[in-house]
Amino acid sequence: MSTIYKTAAGEQALRAAYAGFRQAWPVPREELRLPTRLGETFVVASGDPAAPPLILLHGAGANATMWMGDVASWSQDFRVYAVDLPGEPGESAPVRPPRTGDTQAQWLDDVLAGLGVQRAAFVGNSLGGWHALDYAIRRPAKVAKLVLLAPGGLGAVRPGFLLQAALLNVMGEAGRRRMLGSIGTGAAHPAVARYVELIFSHFNPRRDALPRFSEAQLRTLTMPILMFLGARDSLLDSAGSRRRLARAAPQARIVMLPQAGHVLGGLTAPILEFLREPAP
């Protein structure tokens, strides 16, 4: 059993549930397993292989299933690659290397090389947004466009959230449900919401804080950027995220959703409209 799971039985339950979701993938798909310096990386690929590449990076405690509501639309224009992040409850290697230095960017170098992709648009959610920002800062020539959904690495983590989450997690199913509801998963489709609850019943989330990017790093971002934030985000300081990116990357389009929390939905169409615009 991998140490990222609480029990071997829980790991098997999550793998089986994930396989079931992939069987219901809304468009034809390929499942790829790429060798990287962090071990095997799992990717669900959809769309015309000759279409422009689009890399999707999910949030913490998730996997490629989070994109099932988007992929039918986006794969009409793009070759979509939904990547399972290492150390999360997907099919990639259960490793958790440091998030400092070039390690994570080197891993994405290997992923793009395995896909035969030189340059791509990226969509990153929360933790995946941190990875997308990190890669855009370290490998700007490889990032054509950047879409960020409540990304880590900009605004501060709200100080009370981690303590509250830890306390609720030890309260069993009811506590986990309250914790997940506080970040907005209650608005998800019931089957998805139950799956998220199942994940956090059996999965050990990574506890170390995401590094925040410096002003100097953020000022290097010159590619087109679209960022969505929830004004009621209980995890991240979304107002701080908006201020920091707007100051450092004035070309960025930033949309604050007044009623949304950390988990954002209903953005398939505006993201596609942005992605369709000619890149510089």
Residue 193 belongs to some domain of the structure: no
Number of domains in the chain: 1
Residue 202 belongs to some domain of the structure: no
Residue 175 belongs to some domain of the structure: no
Structural domain that includes position 249: 8-158+210-276
Please, what is the end-to-end C-alpha distance for the chain in angstroms? 47
CATH number at residue 23: 3.40.50.1820
Cα gap 66→89, rounded to integer Å: 12
Which helix (H) or strand (E) segment holds residue 143: the answer is strand 143-149
Q: What is the pLDDT of residue 158?
A: 76
DSSP-derived letter for residue 252 is -
Residue 241 belongs to some domain of the structure: yes
Cα gap 236→153, rounded to integer Å: 9
pLDDT in tens, 122-176: 999 999 999 999 999 999 999 999 999 999 999 998 775 454 444 334 444 543 4
Position of tokens 């979509």?
80
Whether the CB-CB separation of 126 and 151 falls below 8 Å is answered with yes
Q: What is the pLDDT of residue 165?
A: 44
| Tens of pLDDT, residue by residue, the chain (280 residues) | 468 999 999 999 999 999 999 999 999 999 999 999 999 999 999 999 999 999 999 999 999 999 999 999 999 999 999 999 999 999 999 999 999 999 999 999 999 999 999 999 999 999 999 999 999 999 999 999 999 999 999 999 877 545 444 433 444 454 344 444 545 544 445 667 788 889 988 999 988 889 999 999 999 999 999 999 999 998 999 999 999 999 999 999 999 999 999 989 899 999 999 999 987 6
Residue 185 belongs to some domain of the structure: no
Cα gap 109→121, rounded to integer Å: 14
Q: What is the pLDDT of residue 207?
A: 85
Q: What is the pLDDT of residue 160?
A: 57
pLDDT in tens, 9-28: 999 999 999 999 999 999 99
Residue 190 belongs to some domain of the structure: no
Structure-token pair, residue 172 = 């069993």
Residue 194 belongs to some domain of the structure: no
Q: What is the pLDDT of residue 184?
A: 52
* pTM exceeds cut of 0.85: yes
Geometric angle at alpha carbon 157, from 152 and 162, rounded to 5°: 115
Whether the CB-CB separation of 96 and 86 falls below 8 Å is answered with yes
Residue 129 belongs to some domain of the structure: yes
